[in-house]
Structure 1
Amino acid sequence: MDSGLLWSVKRHIGLVVLIGLAVFASSAVLLWSALGFPSTASSRLDIIKVALTVVAGVGGVVALVVAYRKQRISESAETRELTKLRNERFGAACNQIGNESPAVRLAGIYALAALADEWTAQRQVCIDVLCAYLRIPYEPELESEWYLDAESEVRLAITSVISRHLRDGAPVSWQGHDFDLVRAVLRSADFSGVQMSSGKFLLSLARFPAGWISFDGMVVSGGEVWFGGASFDGARVTFDGAEFRAGRMRFEGAEFNGGEVSFRGTRFTGGEVDLSEAVISVAPVFDDGEKPGLKLP
């Protein structure tokens, strides 16, 4: 053992002994004076017993304080270690998402989503990274069968991960967070069944070249959903069975060029859905009946 450390331990032990003796002496003197300076051996023995009890009590309090401090130090160390581990996992997942291999990128997506589930304090940061990937420009292979070029599959996986966390009954809910998909490029996306009660879902200036984008069964009961300037080029966009109870959904400057826009079975019970400033070359499909809260061009 280091001599300096040994000397430090000895000094601490000596200090504790001195404090104990001081407490004992003080207690004995106070008790002796309080009892009128008794001279009998039995009285003096009782005073010594009480003084020792006081010393033991003080020692117990000191031991509790020391134990509490050790626990706090241990918890603090565990918290730092856990934060370090999570930061390492975050860095590893980001590196995977930036890999050239689509399979490795997919692994990074699921690793980052799992981390977001655990790391409440940095969940929004993890979500921001997933959304940032979708904002990276790319040109999909439009001639590929079933919209299955590799990059489109990676992006579809991200939208599916987001959607699963925004549906009712999700083991870990991401509702209430913001999703910045401004200028995202999505050949196909599955946002079916998502629940928007608060937060922002931004798809402004996004591009949807061909493919199918599903918002079927979506429920908007608060928050904001923006499609301003989005471009749906020959894509099939469906809001079938969706419900708009509150909040706002706006399409200023959005362009629906060919394809199909469907609101079959959609209920407009509140909130605002504004298509009045959208550029629509093919009329949206609605069920017959009144559509309160809906603004059409």
Structure 2
Amino acid sequence: MHVLCAYLRLPYTAETDLPPDDMAARHAYLALREVRHTVIRLIRDRTAVGPEETHVSWRGHDFDFTGVVFDGGDFSGAAFTDGTVHFVDVVFADGRVDFSGTRFSGGTVDYTAAGVLHQRHGLLLQRALLRRPRRRRWSPGSTRPR
């Protein structure tokens, strides 16, 4: 899981920064984007099930998304429990990132300096639940870290 988070932290080139008319660059971008979204789904799937249900649960572990540019992804139904989740300096850019039904409980969630770059699709936070975080420096809707 740490390698997967590290993959998401790799330098990111936005589709709008690609050279125009460079089909090879566009194909590479689309392929890497698919891998990034698959990594996010894998993290979601492994945190959505508890250790009582399967030996492959990643609940209770730390996830470091520091500096990640999310250009979409599906975290819906994930459960980040008893660990630390770092969303420090993340950017939610030009894609839908779905956190609907996601639970953050019993651990630490750090949203320091997180931001939304584009709002074409935005964040979906419907039914997302933050329970008793030990530290939350930023929350959706606030204008600056607390």
Q: Fold match, TM over 0.5?
A: yes
Give the share of equivalent positions with the same residue, in percent: 34
For the structure 1 residues 248 and 193, does the alpha-carbon distance in structure 2 shift closer, same or farther, using more than 3 Å as the test?
farther
Higher relative contact order (CA 8 A, sep 6+): 2
- Equivalent residue runs for 1:24-103 within 5 Å: none
Residue number in structure 1 paired with 2:76: 192
1:221 to 105, 114, 125: 105
Residue number in structure 1 paired with 2:13: 139
Residue number in structure 2 paired with 1:32: none
Residue number in structure 1 paired with 2:34: 153
Task: Report the Cα offset of residue 243 of structure 1.
Answer: 2.3
Largest Rg, 1 or 2: 1
Residue number in structure 2 paired with 1:99: none
Greater share of helix: 1
Q: Which runs of 4+ in 1 moved over 6 A?
A: none
Task: Report the Cα offset of residue 251 of structure 1.
Answer: 4.8
8 Å CA contact 1:185, 1:207 repeated in 2: yes
Task: Report the Cα offset of residue 231 of structure 1.
Answer: 2.4
TM-score between both structures, scaled by the size of structure 2: 0.76
Residue number in structure 1 paired with 2:125: 239
Task: Report the Cα offset of residue 249 of structure 1.
Answer: 6.3
Structure 2, unmatched stretches of 5+, are 18-28
TM-score between both structures, scaled by the size of structure 1: 0.40
How many residues of Structure 1 are paired with residues of Structure 2 in the alignment?
A: 131
For the structure 1 residues 274 and 249, does the alpha-carbon distance in structure 2 shift closer, same or farther, using more than 3 Å as the test?
farther
Q: In angstroms, what is the RMSD of aligned CA positions?
A: 2.7
Q: How far apart in 1 are the matches of 2:64 and 2:77?
A: 19
SS in 1 for 2:13: coil
8 Å CA contact 2:92, 2:123 repeated in 1: no
